[in-house]
Amino acid sequence: MIKTIPIPINSHLLAIISLLFGIIWLCIPNLSMAFDISLIDVEELQQNLTKYKTLLDARPRTEYEKAHLPGAIPFSWEDYTETDAKGIKYRIWPPQRLAEALSHLGIQENTPVVVYGDADKSWGGEAWVCWMLAWLGHTGQIRLLNGGIQAWKQANLALETGPFTNKRPQAQGYKVQLNSSINISAEAIRQERDVNLVDVRSNMEWFMGHIPNAVHIPWESFYKGPNRTLVSRQEFQELLKKHGLSPEKRTIYYCTGGIRSAWAWLAHTLAGYSSAINFEGGIEEWNKTR
């Protein structure tokens, strides 16, 4: 018979053990990557509109008012970014302010959300909305409409026009659990020694100046076809391999202010890798903090 010998644990030892587990948790980025994000096709969305009744239109409001999915809410990055106190443009609102805005729209952290755009006039803003929700720690499903509003139109499905009127009851509150592993500051980048750094801006922007040691892959490389759908996993792998990069390695994407780079982040993430980071401050923050 095997006897178990109890090991006395005092409060000090218990505190040390808890601290060690906390350090381990922080040092393993994948443990904090708890968001549920994937693509959804028009047919699946149409069949599940009761479940996915929160539709976020990531295009500019002018485009939203011309035509949008029935019941959709306008949620363009232009309305939720600002110039901060340091003069850095396109900075995302503080988390709590975003939480209040989402609550006002009837959205809680566990609300299933479908985001759509056109990857053109929105500059990939639909991916920015997906990234923003993941950054806030959204626990509900985050779905990107595959093919955007173009695919919806091609299926000859109904659209609405006109400005947005919020008829949704305000949510009790949006609980933020910030996922800091998918964002980074200019200061932190300057301390990095072994990371992929990818500039997704245009050729002209690249030649006018870029972050040292960066590799240039324009954001248009991460989508394809007239509907501007995200590249497949295999296409994504080949794209990075072509530029001498491994998707397994921590990869920081940046543009001017985190919008186009969010599209590359999403392509990286949906390819099945948890190593992507969106430098939300972009070249604007980099230049202002030198």
Domain ranges in the chain are 31-162+172-179, 181-288
- Separation of alpha carbons 107 and 233, rounded Å: 31
- Separation of alpha carbons 287 and 117, rounded Å: 30
Band of residue 33 on the pLDDT scale cut at 50, 70, 90: low
Q: How far apart are the first and last CA of the chain?
A: 68
pLDDT, the chain, mean: 90
According to the model, what pLDDT value does residue 20 have?
A: 40
Tell me 49's DSSP state: T
Class of domain 181-288: alpha beta
Whether residue 19 has pLDDT greater than 70: no
- CATH superfamily of the 31-162+172-179 domain: Rhodanese-like domain (3.40.250.10)
Average pLDDT over residues 94-112: 98
At 119-163, the pLDDT tens digits run: 888 889 999 999 999 999 999 999 999 999 999 999 999 999 999
According to the model, what pLDDT value does residue 122 have?
A: 87
At 34-92, the pLDDT tens digits run: 799 999 999 999 999 999 999 999 999 999 999 999 999 999 999 999 999 999 999 99
Tell me 193's DSSP state: S
| Paired tokens of 200 | 């997704």
What 3-state DSSP class applies to 3?
A: coil
- Separation of alpha carbons 133 and 43, rounded Å: 24
According to the model, what pLDDT value does residue 66 have?
A: 97
According to the model, what pLDDT value does residue 36 have?
A: 97
Strands 251-254 and 196-199, how do they pair? Answer: parallel
Strands 81-82 and 91-92, how do they pair? Answer: antiparallel
Instruction: Return the percentage of the chain with pLDDT > 90, whole number.
Output: 86
At 213-247, the pLDDT tens digits run: 999 999 999 999 999 999 999 999 999 999 999 99
According to the model, what pLDDT value does residue 34 have?
A: 77
Whether residue 26 has pLDDT greater than 80: no
Whether residue 17 has pLDDT greater than 90: no
User: Which amino acid makes up residue 235?
Assistant: E
Domains 31-162+172-179 and 181-288 belong to one CATH topology: yes
Band of residue 30 on the pLDDT scale cut at 50, 70, 90: very low
